[in-house]
Structure 1
Amino acid sequence: MKSRYKWITAVMIAIISMTFGLNCNSNSVNAKKDSNVLKVAMEANYQPYNWTQTNAANGAVPIDGSQHTFANGYDVKIAKIIGKKMHRKVVVLKTEWDGLLPALTSGKADLIIAGMSPTAERAKAINFSQPYRRGTFVVITKPNSKFAHAKKLTDFKGAKLTAQQGTSHYGLIKELPGAKRQTAMRDFAAMRQSLISGTIDGYLAEDTEAISFKLVDPDVTAVAISKMAGFHVSKEESETAIGIAKPNKSLLKQVNQILATIPTATRNKMMTAAIKEQPKADDNKKGQSENWFISMWKQYGSMLVSGIGMTLLLASVGTIAGFFIGLAVGIIRTIPTPTTTGKKLLLKVSNWLLSVYIEVFRGTPMMVQAAVIYYGIAQFWHLNINRTIAALIIVSINTGAYLAEIIRGGIISTPTGQFEAASALGMTHNQRMWHIILPQAIKNCLPSITNEFIVNIKDTSVLSIISVSELFFVGTTVASQTFKFFPTYLTISAIYLILTFTITRIFNLIEKHLQGNKNYNLMANQVQVGTTNDMEVKK
């Protein structure tokens, strides 16, 4: 039995070593608070305002937590001017749109420079600088669409339109009478793909998005709606400003003073430059004659490998730590009722607390848990936890809640005769659990533990809400930069399948090893031993 446990331990150590090796260089930028660093939060996926690239070309700045990716765009150019004036190095905190405000209010970021409009609702949570750009609104559609030649707002009647989730753009669709407002989408890459595939008739955005999109796909057109009669938009919704945490009045003053020194002509030149520098589908001339798969791996291979490593790290460490958490909880919840009043009360309270833990973490999505733990701890207790450590904690305690019930089920499903036989031999409860019950329970639970490992590999994708660059988050970035959505997501799907298939086979070997040799007969062995002893006595 000991050799079996050693074999399992060796496999687990190998998995952890592999994943740590893949990620040993992933945190090149110091995550600690540094007065010489200006942390700027943005999606890095909203061309031409901001995007992700694999090198520092055209003055790109590093993305926090990675040595393989950089951010660039109009927002980055504005951030660099502010950083230069403040004598601080600009580092981009890449996160989803929904994670921008929590990143700022929790102190993870100093500024939000992400093409954000200073709406009244957002102004309740954060302060905004003076606007650094003003834009007009358009509906982006296909040239052959019946809505491409719209002259008035009512011409969009029946059009299936959408906009980015969490933005004021989505609410402006109501200004188009008769338009069928579709579900909001998470980013512009998703809306572009939906328009190309024909699932929507168009989407509402700023004029800069139309210019940016047409550079990579000429088969689109933009219908200006800002000057159409009846279109009402507030001044704030047409402006773009920098978000700053409310307590930081001095930083707000500094930013406004710096923005006042940037002439409008300079800002327009910066936007023109950003539009020309944005990633294009045909950036790699050589890649046009190459297979798309080879071309993608040559250009974005380091990002994808880093994403694979992070996914494996989170899934493997989270499952192993979650196993031990679940094991401890499962054992405690199956302790027999003590005879003394004090111990009985203590066990009852412990079981109640553990039940609350299980219900909370099984009854809420991991994405919500990630946002609450990562941003909540920083906001309320002022503890700035490294995002990778936070992600490992989140996956571990979430997995522990599920495995606790799996292991508890394995323990109570063990035949009662096993308990009675162990008790007849004079074993204590701890001895019964450690030597008799747990080896059988864990062996029976192994398929469920394997399934939890596989689920963790896939569910780590939700951790992009706290800026963790796992496989899906990296894949989304690659798709938005190459504009090859279907091939990229197909590749990501294949990688997930390979990972889950490999893990399944590893655990199948472990399960087979734990089963041992089934070809035995206890009575025959006893008879053989007895016969051998008789022969030795006769000699």
Structure 2
Amino acid sequence: MKKSNWIWAVFALCLTLIQLPLTVQADDQTPAEQFRVGMEAGYAPFNWTQTTDANGAVPISGEEGSAFAGGYDVQIAKRIAEGLGKELVIVKTQWDGLPPALQAGTIDAVIAGMSPTAERREQIDFTDPYYESDLVVVVRKDGEFADAKSLSDLSGAKITAQLNTFHYTVIDQIPEVQKEQAMRDFSSMRVALASGIIDGYVSERPEGVTAVGANPDLKMVEFDEGAGFETNPEDVQVAVGMRKGDPDVEKVNEILAGISEEERVSLMDQAVLDQPADASGETADQGLVADFKKIIDDYGMLFLRGAGLTLFIAILSTIIGLIIGLLVGIFRTLPLSENPVGRFFQRIVNGLLTIYIEVFRGTPMMVQAMVIFYGTALAFGVSMNRTLAAVLIVSINTGAYMSEIVRGGIFAVDDGQFEAAQAIGMTHWQTMIKVVLPQVMRNILPATGNEIIINIKDTAVLSVISVADLFFQGTSAAGTNFQYFQTFAIIGVIYLVLTISATQILRFVERKMDGPSAYVKLEDINPNE
């Protein structure tokens, strides 16, 4: 293949991937006729992600046609939406992002196996419970705590639970327990347990049944009456979370009251049976190659869309960040104005730009994402599109770094060139545009390439605002199929392909900007050749 054809092929591939996110995430601003429900879609059998609409699954907002949410919570949400006369919209959201999303108005309710604890009631309102369960501890089947019957039998064990749940607080009831750091989701805890990092984790019985069904090496410890955790009734109940003062709370209570206890038990039993095959252990022991093949067959398009969104955010944000960096870098190198008023305002702007640079270089992008996305909604009532928010966050962050890179590139240009330009009557801006910036762009190209590579990888932190990038899709798949090593091995390979491809393209561009390694005299060229 000719070099020019190869370039066009790569360009076409990039264009295809960039176009994918345009169909991945729809605008989160929904009409009043919709009932927007937030859930992890990764906490089977309460909720999970699957790639078809089998067993009454509902399309996930922004991923219509490629990802669906199923489980007990989804069936309850369908009943509530029907009772309210609204269309059900599932908004896939990380667990720790559910309360902020609810308060910010990006979702109307949380139906995600959430318990109505006293701490949570201070921030949001809850309906009457729609499920009640017992607490269990999931351990390794061949571990020293497999035969535990009471909390005292777990003495000395390394136990953890999910972050921001009451499960983590009850660990203190185990005598001489080694309380480990809380983990973000159940996927992380299952991996930690299987690898021996922890001896067990606290969970609810439905999740314990799912975990044991998915991994025969695990065991669910159920306690005799009076030998287990002491809890308040609200701690083991599951309710719908809604915004403070929401008038629909009573309506939802009326709808829930119409679902009998027998029907709720039946829905949960059915959810346990309906969860994806991988999560119920049906595909176990097929071999590693077969596992990889099945994951690609089941979630390949989901991964492709995630990779397209990752590439889209990384490339567009780097371009915008470069523009920001150029503007900020050039302004910060301007000589001070001779006019006192102009000099005053120039110093003010320089001070503000310095604050911007230090803040965005000195804080993690994950924190910036939470503050910008949820803070904007809370302060101004603006529900941002997640893809737009992702581009904005990464662009501003990249701009802070690029401004310093650009400033360094400008200072690297010999002072004599500035003096020569001024000697022939060029203004500062003319000198920058016609003399300095062409050299700066070549000098900062490697650093710009590094920013693209960094942004491809750093989009993973945007999962805190539930941007459906490659990492988020991989987490969803692993939380459903329980095949963490296989799933993230595939995700790692995709990231590697993206970064290596970007590196090779950038090196090609560098060589083109450098020109040929050797030149020949015009008279040495034979016109007949």
Q: Same fold (TM over 0.5)?
A: yes
State the Cα distance separating 1:37 from its structure 2 match.
1.2
Contact 1:361/1:401 (8 A) holds in 2:
yes
How do 1:309-388 residues align onto structure 2 when only pairs under 5 Å count? 309-388=308-387
How do 1:217-256 residues align onto structure 2 when only pairs under 5 Å count? 217-225=215-223, 227-229=225-227, 231-248=229-246, 250-256=247-253
- Indicate the larger mover: 218-227 or 506-515: 218-227
State the Cα distance separating 1:163 from its structure 2 match.
0.7
What SS does structure 2 have at the residue aligned with 1:101? helix
In the alignment, which of 234, 258, 262 is matched to residue 265 of structure 1? 262
- Indicate the larger mover: 404-413 or 367-376: 367-376
How do 1:12-161 residues align onto structure 2 when only pairs under 5 Å count? 17-27=15-25, 31-67=28-64, 68-161=66-159
Partners of 1:259 and 1:48 lie apart in 2 by 19
Distance 1:13 1:486, change over 3 A: closer
Contact 1:175/1:231 (8 A) holds in 2:
yes
Cα offsets for 1:255-302 (capped at 9, x unmatched): 111111111111000000000001132788799486322221111111
Partners of 1:295 and 1:149 lie apart in 2 by 35
Partners of 2:224 and 2:398 lie apart in 1 by 50
Contact 1:19/1:310 (8 A) holds in 2:
yes
State the Cα distance separating 1:195 from its structure 2 match.
1.5
Contact 1:154/1:177 (8 A) holds in 2:
yes
User: What fraction of aligned residue pairs are identical, expressed as a percent?
Assistant: 45
State the Cα distance separating 1:490 from its structure 2 match.
1.2
What SS does structure 2 have at the residue aligned with 1:131? strand
Partners of 1:175 and 1:24 lie apart in 2 by 50
Output the amino acid matched with 2:210. Answer: S
What SS does structure 2 have at the residue aligned with 1:114? coil
What SS does structure 1 have at the residue aligned with 2:324? helix
What SS does structure 1 have at the residue aligned with 2:19? helix
- Indicate the larger mover: 481-490 or 70-79: 481-490
Show the counterpart of 2:173. Answer: 175
In the alignment, which of 180, 184, 187 is matched to residue 185 of structure 2? 187
Distance 1:285 1:140, change over 3 A: closer
Partners of 2:28 and 2:144 lie apart in 1 by 51
Partners of 2:302 and 2:9 lie apart in 1 by 26
Partners of 2:240 and 2:184 lie apart in 1 by 21
Partners of 1:468 and 1:387 lie apart in 2 by 6
Distance 1:89 1:284, change over 3 A: farther
Show the counterpart of 1:163. Answer: 161
Distance 1:226 1:401, change over 3 A: farther
Partners of 1:204 and 1:286 lie apart in 2 by 24
What SS does structure 1 have at the residue aligned with 2:88? strand
What SS does structure 2 have at the residue aligned with 1:49? coil
2:443 pairs with 1:470? no
What SS does structure 2 have at the residue aligned with 1:266? helix
Partners of 1:286 and 1:479 lie apart in 2 by 14
Cα offsets for 1:417-447 (capped at 9, x unmatched): 1111222222111111111111111211111
How do 1:278-317 residues align onto structure 2 when only pairs under 5 Å count? 278-281=275-278, 288=286, 291-317=290-316
Show the counterpart of 1:532. Answer: none
Partners of 1:230 and 1:12 lie apart in 2 by 60
Distance 1:519 1:358, change over 3 A: same
Partners of 1:150 and 1:165 lie apart in 2 by 24
CA RMSD across the alignment: 2.3
Distance 1:200 1:81, change over 3 A: same
How do 1:493-512 residues align onto structure 2 when only pairs under 5 Å count? 493-512=492-511
Output the amino acid matched with 1:63. Answer: I
Show the counterpart of 1:484. Answer: 483
Contact 1:287/1:295 (8 A) holds in 2:
no
Partners of 1:230 and 1:278 lie apart in 2 by 28
Contact 2:150/2:224 (8 A) holds in 1:
no
Output the amino acid matched with 2:219. Answer: T
Contact 2:109/2:241 (8 A) holds in 1:
yes
Output the amino acid matched with 2:462. Answer: L
Partners of 2:11 and 2:142 lie apart in 1 by 58
Distance 1:12 1:345, change over 3 A: farther
What SS does structure 2 have at the residue aligned with 1:330? helix
Distance 1:464 1:107, change over 3 A: same
State the Cα distance separating 1:348 from its structure 2 match.
0.7
Higher relative contact order (CA 8 A, sep 6+): 2
In the alignment, which of 271, 275, 281 is matched to residue 274 of structure 1? 271
Output the amino acid matched with 1:506. Answer: I
Cα offsets for 1:5-49 (capped at 9, x unmatched): xxxx9999868733332223213x553221221100000000100
Contact 1:151/1:228 (8 A) holds in 2:
no
Partners of 1:442 and 1:383 lie apart in 2 by 37
What's the TM-score, normalizing by structure 2? 0.93
Contact 1:48/1:74 (8 A) holds in 2:
yes
Partners of 1:208 and 1:444 lie apart in 2 by 58
Output the amino acid matched with 2:415. Answer: T
State the Cα distance separating 1:456 from its structure 2 match.
0.3
What SS does structure 2 have at the residue aligned with 1:291? helix
Partners of 2:334 and 2:514 lie apart in 1 by 27
Cα offsets for 1:183-213 (capped at 9, x unmatched): 1111111111222222211111111111111
Output the amino acid matched with 1:302. Answer: M
What SS does structure 1 have at the residue aligned with 2:383? coil
2:195 pairs with 1:197? yes
Partners of 2:225 and 2:173 lie apart in 1 by 12
Structure 1 regions of 5+ residues with no counterpart?
A: 1-8, 529-539
What's the TM-score, normalizing by structure 1? 0.91
Partners of 2:412 and 2:226 lie apart in 1 by 70
Partners of 2:86 and 2:165 lie apart in 1 by 30
Show the counterpart of 1:535. Answer: none
Give the number of aligned pairs.
Answer: 514
Contact 1:117/1:240 (8 A) holds in 2:
yes
Cα offsets for 1:485-516 (capped at 9, x unmatched): 11111111111111111111111111111122
Output the amino acid matched with 1:395. Answer: V
How do 1:505-520 residues align onto structure 2 when only pairs under 5 Å count? 505-517=504-516, 519=518
Contact 2:130/2:238 (8 A) holds in 1:
yes
Partners of 1:251 and 1:60 lie apart in 2 by 24
Structure 2 regions of 5+ residues with no counterpart?
A: 1-6, 524-529
Partners of 1:110 and 1:300 lie apart in 2 by 29
Output the amino acid matched with 1:404. Answer: S
Partners of 1:501 and 1:233 lie apart in 2 by 52
State the Cα distance separating 1:164 from its structure 2 match.
0.7
Contact 1:16/1:317 (8 A) holds in 2:
no
